[in-house]
């Protein structure tokens, strides 16, 4: 059947469901767990009859959760606006789910934008750092990679074509913007991407299969123009030649394309809604499989998928005052359960969900939501080879498992307990822990100097906490300090060697601890070398600096003479990240010099160790600064506005145009509200686009009585605390400049299909010299200027304004200027010469 849904559900779709009393559920738990406790899920998975087996031939069960968002305009799983992605994935793992179904759109794959809807700070520290500036596919890589590292598996689901909040309304697996060829090509892209070894952990690939299309359905947009199943008598048999609607034929084509790249992936094929006049949930009708099954070129990789929901979503005919658990069993067996029962293929209940009130989770009322959900849990307990993923993890969903802050405690303990009764643990997940390692295993430092080593921390098994670092075994006269302690990610270890420290080599131990986790230890071979008789040392007043793109940071570099050295030292900087430049206040220097680091607005936020080196004759020394860049909120630092041209002339009673450009190089896109100040009396300013985030045409209109002279007009753009401006020199001339007269010679030099070139000569036939000029005209046949030389040109529709450059504004009385010309386009029919030239407000003849 077909219907439209409205209300609070974030994901609108059609669905169905069933139930058992809670006592019966609990009674079944021990038997079920005893059957599955040995399951591991090693390697890639395949099928045998109605079962899914791992690479060792042991039976496994998909018992997972849906986590959506990549298919929406956010192009990223939801909830990261509140939590770090590690935290959410650790929650999924700790709650006992073994697989995540992750929806995505074809638009996300093909445009691969850079998502921004995530927080960078939570729980007292930076979060989601791996996502900073990444594309959507790179973010998906990051999510998949960490999920695999903690023993979770992933099923990727093509939820829709264009990014959106529901299934595809047309019921098909393609749209005009993303045709079937794109759909198959995008699946091939994903198959290639996730066959890489970087997504395999302890021999277990993370991505185990592809759900080819979410909820195909026949009845779309009020007619049977959606997806049909082969043999459907209500659609003339839905012949296999009907490739525009035949869903199983399309599924075979996509599945075979994927398996040609990776023959070990599971291929999930959903049902549609109607078959031979019998209709149910969208994606939930697999009746046609009995007579027309899907056949893939690679055997034992096919799983059928159904979706099922309760009466809260839609009042299906089987929800009524006579509904029982047995009648719901019969409904599920009719639509999809029979496939599992006859052993022809595994079945996966890809979506089902309920609200969080107790009556919507368990109830004895016939036809109620609670009866449906409780009965469905019982059905899945009685059929442990049927696989499932609950809809949905997302806290903003009506059927949410977590709250809106994506906290680790489920909204409903009752619902979680029922889902736990049908969970299936996978073995082989690594235990939480970490390891530490130095960037250099051996370090040599001269007496009276410092040296640094970066200690890197690698998390394993879902651990994301901070690690306390300590150093032992330091030789006499040597001290050590960590730049961050406790640390996450890495910490720069600085060794300071006094002038009195004895020369020699010592093995120094670095140990990391975090709570009850097993400590990790590494070593550095530290060699103290004797100080040369003469030289110098360099030091920085701040061993670490923070800088933001568009910002500046400073440090004081000191030269310390040693052994009688008294020369000047030439300083230089290396290791600067892209977009950051350095300068010294005094260079060479014999004392101190201020180091100024300036980050451009396009600088990438990449932590770096900056090295300051000094050379004086045969002597050399260095020191280092740990530099961290952070991305700021939008500020005036990296936003500017410019005008083109910057010098304008307008006559009384005329107007002149200018182009205002808003330049933004970092941070969120900001629309600036434009205003003009310093206008002379009688002159008004209007902007074509306001607020503007790109370009806006400024028109300055002088009344017949406008004040004459030269003025500075300031254009200012504001947004919140942002305020930037640019000046324009405006000259207002008398209406006729005391005898201004002009003649324009417009010559078409050459003309070709679609294009032409023209030269323009300005003749000053009056008695007054021209200091700056503004020439305007209108095209009559849709011509456009594409390239103009020796002038500043603005075109708005048919109207063109050209103002002089700094070098060609003067035209003496009786003189002319003939250096201007342009290339343009025309309509290949008429290219009339303009006859309405106006120079500085005076019509030319």
Provide the total of helices (H) and of strands (E) in the chain, helices listed first: 10, 50
Closest of 102, 29, 33, 42 to residue 72, by C-alpha:
102
Largest CA distance in the chain: 108
Q: Are 215 and 160 in contact (CB under 8 A)?
A: no
pLDDT in the model for residue 628? 79
Has residue 516 got a pLDDT over 80?
no
Span 221-240, average pLDDT: 89
Has residue 756 got a pLDDT over 80?
yes
Phi first, then psi, for residue 611 (nearest 5°) are -105, 130
Torsion angle in degrees (nearest 10) through CA of 191, 193, 194, 195: 80
Under the banding of pLDDT at 50, 70 and 90, the label for residue 732 is confident
Has residue 62 got a pLDDT over 90?
yes
Residues in CB range of 171: below 8 A, 6 or more apart: 216, 217, 218, 219, 220, 221, 225, 226, 227, 272, 273, 282
The order of strands in the sheet holding 639-644 is: 639-644, 655-664, 695-702, 683-687
Render 428-452 in DSSP notation, one character per residue.
Answer: -PPPSEEEEEES-SEEEEETT-EEE
pLDDT tens digits, one per residue of 277-292: 999 999 999 999 999 9
Lowest mean pLDDT among 16-20, 388-392, 617-621, 771-775: 16-20
Has residue 822 got a pLDDT over 90?
yes
- β-partners of residue 583 are 596
| Long-range contact pairs involving 113-119 (C-beta distance under 8 Å, separation at least 24) | 113/75, 115/74, 115/75, 115/76, 115/139, 116/668, 117/74, 117/76, 117/78, 117/80, 117/81, 118/76, 118/80, 118/81, 118/85, 119/80, 119/81, 119/82, 119/83
The order of strands in the sheet holding 59-60 is: 46-48, 51-53, 59-60
Under the banding of pLDDT at 50, 70 and 90, the label for residue 16 is very low
pLDDT tens digits, one per residue of 257-281: 999 999 999 999 999 999 999 999 9
pLDDT tens digits, one per residue of 393-411: 999 999 999 999 999 999 9
Closest of 507, 505, 510 to residue 456, by C-alpha:
510
Catalytic site residue from 215, 548, 562, 629: 215
pLDDT in the model for residue 11? 39
Has residue 494 got a pLDDT over 90?
yes
pLDDT in the model for residue 5? 32
Provide, rounded to the nearest whole percent, the portion of the chain with pLDDT above 70: 92
Under the banding of pLDDT at 50, 70 and 90, the label for residue 4 is very low
Output the CA angle 142-144-149, nearest 5 degrees. Answer: 95
pLDDT in the model for residue 741? 87
Measure Cα distances from 581 to 393, 592, 611, 663 in Å: 46, 19, 13, 21
Q: Report CA 718 to chain centroid distance, whole Å.
A: 28
Q: H or E segment at 185?
A: helix 180-193
Provide, rounded to the nearest whole percent, the portion of the chain with pLDDT above 90: 65
Lowest mean pLDDT among 179-188, 383-392, 629-638, 674-683: 629-638
For 666, half-sphere exposure in the C-beta direction (CA atoms, 13 angstrom radius) is: 23
Span 36-48, average pLDDT: 76
Catalytic site residue from 107, 252, 270, 351: 351
Has residue 28 got a pLDDT over 60?
no
pLDDT in the model for residue 532? 65
pLDDT in the model for residue 482? 95
Span 349-354, average pLDDT: 98
Per the annotation, the verdict on 351 as an active-site residue is: yes
Q: Are 303 and 52 in contact (CB under 8 A)?
A: yes
Q: Are 269 and 296 in contact (CB under 8 A)?
A: no
Return the percent helix, strand and coil in the chain, to nearest 5. Answer: 15, 40, 45
Average pLDDT, the chain: 88
Peptide bond into 645 cis (omega under 30): yes
As given in the structure block, the two tokens for residue 473 are 């075994």
Span 481-488, average pLDDT: 92
Residues in CB range of 556: below 8 A, 6 or more apart: 540, 541, 542, 592, 593, 594, 595
Measure Cα distances from 765 to 414, 648, 738, 744, 829 in Å: 93, 22, 13, 10, 34
pLDDT tens digits, one per residue of 602-657: 776 678 899 999 999 888 999 999 887 665 555 556 788 888 878 888 888 888 88
Has residue 366 got a pLDDT over 70?
yes
Under the banding of pLDDT at 50, 70 and 90, the label for residue 669 is low
Under the banding of pLDDT at 50, 70 and 90, the label for residue 791 is very high
Measured distance between the N- and C-terminal CA atoms of the chain, rounded to whole angstroms: 75
Span 527-536, average pLDDT: 81
pLDDT tens digits, one per residue of 113-149: 999 999 999 887 788 999 999 999 999 999 999 999 9
pLDDT in the model for residue 758? 96
pLDDT in the model for residue 461? 67
Span 464-489, average pLDDT: 92
Q: What is the three-class DSSP state of 143?
A: helix
The beta strands (E) that lie in 534-671 are given as 535-540, 544-547, 552-562, 570-574, 580-584, 592-599, 608-616, 619-629, 639-644, 647-651, 655-664
As given in the structure block, the two tokens for residue 118 are 């995530």
Closest of 356, 414, 198, 172 to residue 270, by C-alpha:
172
pLDDT in the model for residue 580? 87
Q: Report CA 580 to chain centroid distance, whole Å.
A: 24
Q: Are 41 and 98 in contact (CB under 8 A)?
A: yes
Has residue 22 got a pLDDT over 60?
no
pLDDT in the model for residue 12? 38
Render 569-600 in DSSP notation, one character per residue.
Answer: BEEEEE-PPTTEEEEESSSSBSSEEEEEEEE-
pLDDT in the model for residue 150? 92
CA quadruple 369, 372, 376, 377: dihedral sign? positive
pLDDT in the model for residue 652? 85
Phi first, then psi, for residue 788 (nearest 5°) are -125, 140
As given in the structure block, the two tokens for residue 41 are 């899920």
Has residue 29 got a pLDDT over 80?
no
All structural domains of the chain, each given as residue ranges with its CATH number in brackets, are 22-420 (3.20.20.80), 433-529 (2.60.40.10), 535-629 (2.60.40.10), 636-733 (2.60.40.10), 742-843 (2.60.40.290)
d(Cα 769, Cα 739) in Å, to the nearest integer?
A: 10
Site of tokens 């045998």: 48
Under the banding of pLDDT at 50, 70 and 90, the label for residue 8 is very low
Task: Choose from 170-184, 480-494, 690-704 the range with maximum mean pLDDT.
Answer: 170-184
Measure Cα distances from 247 to 155, 252, 395 in Å: 20, 9, 33
Residues in CB range of 770: below 8 A, 6 or more apart: 737, 740, 764, 809, 810, 811, 812, 839, 840
Closest of 297, 189, 183 to residue 247, by C-alpha:
183
Alpha-helical runs (H) found in 383-468:
413-420
d(Cα 764, Cα 382) in Å, to the nearest integer?
A: 98
pLDDT in the model for residue 788? 96
> What's the whole-model pTM score?
0.54
Has residue 90 got a pLDDT over 70?
yes
d(Cα 200, Cα 471) in Å, to the nearest integer?
A: 35
Has residue 152 got a pLDDT over 50?
yes
pLDDT in the model for residue 835? 82
pLDDT in the model for residue 634? 53
Measure Cα distances from 109 to 37, 113, 142 in Å: 38, 9, 15
Per the annotation, the verdict on 215 as an active-site residue is: yes
Q: Are 507 and 476 in contact (CB under 8 A)?
A: no
- β-partners of residue 102 are 156
Span 440-463, average pLDDT: 87
Higher pLDDT, 38 or 364: 364
Under the banding of pLDDT at 50, 70 and 90, the label for residue 592 is very high
Span 82-104, average pLDDT: 96
């Amino acid at each position: 059947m077909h219907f439209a849904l409205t209300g609070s559900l974030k994901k609108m779709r059609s669905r169905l469901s069933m139930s058992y009393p809670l006592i019966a559920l609990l009674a079944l738990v021990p038997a079920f767990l005893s059957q599955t406790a040995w399951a591991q899920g090693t390697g890639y998975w395949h099928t045998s009859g109605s079962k899914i087996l791992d690479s060792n031939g042991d039976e496994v069960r998909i018992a997972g959760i849906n986590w959506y968002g990549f298919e929406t305009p956010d192009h990223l799983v939801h909830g990261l606006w509140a939590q770090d992605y590690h935290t959410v994935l650790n929650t999924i793992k700790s709650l006992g789910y073994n697989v995540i179904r992750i929806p995505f759109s074809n638009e996300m794959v093909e445009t691969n934008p850079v998502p921004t809807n995530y927080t960078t700070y939570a729980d007292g520290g930076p979060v989601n750092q791996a996502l900073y500036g990444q594309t959507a596919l790179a973010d998906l890589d990051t999510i998949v990679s960490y999920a695999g590292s903690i023993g979770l598996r992933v099923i990727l689901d093509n939820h829709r074509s264009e990014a959106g909040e529901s299934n595809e309304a047309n019921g098909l697996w393609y749209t005009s913007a993303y045709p079937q060829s794109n759909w198959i090509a995008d699946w091939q892209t994903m198959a290639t991407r996730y066959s890489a070894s970087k997504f395999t952990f302890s021999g277990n690939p993370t991505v185990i299969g592809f759900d080819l299309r979410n909820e195909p359905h026949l009845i779309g947009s009020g007619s049977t123009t959606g997806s049909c199943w082969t043999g459907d008598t209500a659609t003339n048999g839905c012949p296999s030649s009907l490739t525009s609607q035949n869903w199983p034929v399309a599924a075979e084509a996509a599945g075979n394309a994927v398996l040609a790249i990776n023959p070990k992936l599971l291929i999930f094929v959903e049902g549609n809604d109607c078959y031979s006049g019998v209709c149910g949930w969208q994606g939930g009708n697999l009746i046609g499989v009995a007579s027309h099954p899907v056949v893939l070129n690679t055997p034992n990789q096919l799983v059928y998928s159904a979706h099922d929901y309760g009466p809260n979503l839609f009042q299906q005919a089987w929800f009524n005052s006579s509904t029982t658990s047995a009648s719901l069993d019969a409904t599920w067996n009719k639509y999809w359960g029979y496939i599992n029962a006859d052993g022809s293929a595994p079945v996966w209940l890809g979506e089902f969900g309920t609200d969080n009130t107790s009556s919507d989770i368990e109830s004895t009322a016939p036809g109620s939501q609670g009866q449906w959900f409780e009965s469905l849990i019982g059905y899945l307990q009685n059929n442990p080879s049927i696989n499932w993923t609950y809809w949905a993890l997302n806290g903003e969903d009506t059927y949410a498992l977590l709250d809106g802050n994506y906290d680790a405690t489920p909204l409903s303990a009752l619902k979680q307990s029922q889902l736990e009764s049908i969970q299936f643990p996978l073995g082989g997940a690594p235990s939480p822990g970490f390891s530490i390692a130095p960037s250099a295993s051996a370090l040599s430092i001269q007496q009276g100097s410092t040296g640094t080593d970066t200690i890197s921390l690698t998390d394993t098994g879902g651990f994301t906490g901070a690690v306390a670092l300590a150093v032992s075994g330091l030789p006499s006269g040597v001290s050590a300090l960590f730049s961050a302690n406790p640390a996450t990610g890495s910490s720069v270890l600085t060794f300071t060697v006094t002038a009195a420290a004895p020369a020699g080599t010592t093995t120094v131990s670095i140990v990391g601890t975090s709570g009850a986790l097993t400590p990790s230890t590494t070593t550095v071979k530290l060699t103290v070398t004797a100080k040369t008789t003469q030289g110098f040392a360099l030091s920085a007043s701040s061993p670490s600096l923070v800088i933001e793109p568009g910002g500046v940071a400073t440090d004081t570099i000191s030269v310390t003479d040693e052994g009688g050295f008294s020369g000047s030292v030439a300083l230089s900087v290396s290791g600067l990240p892209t977009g950051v430049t350095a300068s010294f206040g005094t260079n060479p220097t014999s004392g101190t010099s201020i180091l100024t680091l300036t980050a451009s607005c396009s600088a990438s936020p990449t932590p770096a160790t900056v090295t300051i080196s000094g050379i004086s004759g045969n002597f050399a020394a260095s020191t280092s600064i740990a530099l961290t860049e952070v991305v700021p909120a939008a500020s005036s630092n990296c936003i500017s506005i410019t005008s083109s041209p910057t010098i304008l002339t307008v006559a009384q009673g005329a107007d002149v145009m200018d182009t205002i450009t808003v330049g933004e190089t970092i941070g969120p896109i900001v629309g600036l509200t434009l205003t003009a100040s310093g206008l002379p009396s009688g002159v008004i300013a209007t902007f074509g686009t306001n607020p503007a985030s790109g370009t806006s045409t400024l028109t300055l209109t002088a009344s017949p009585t406008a004040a004459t002279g030269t003025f500075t007009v300031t254009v200012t753009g504001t947004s919140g605390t942002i305020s930037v401006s640019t000046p324009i020199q405006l000259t207002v001339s008398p209406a006729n400049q005391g005898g201004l007269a002009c003649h324009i010679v417009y010559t078409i030099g050459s003309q070709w299909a679609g294009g032409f070139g023209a030269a323009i000569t300005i003749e000053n036939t009056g008695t007054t010299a021209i200091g700056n000029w503004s020439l305007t005209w209108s095209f009559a046949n849709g011509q456009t200027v594409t390239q103009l030389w020796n002038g500043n040109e603005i075109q708005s529709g048919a109207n063109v304004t050209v103002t002089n450059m700094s070098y060609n504004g003067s035209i003496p009385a009786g003189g002319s200027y003939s250096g201007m010309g342009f290339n343009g386009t025309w309509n290949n029919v008429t290219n009339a010469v303009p006859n309405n030239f106006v120079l500085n407000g005076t019509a030319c003849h």
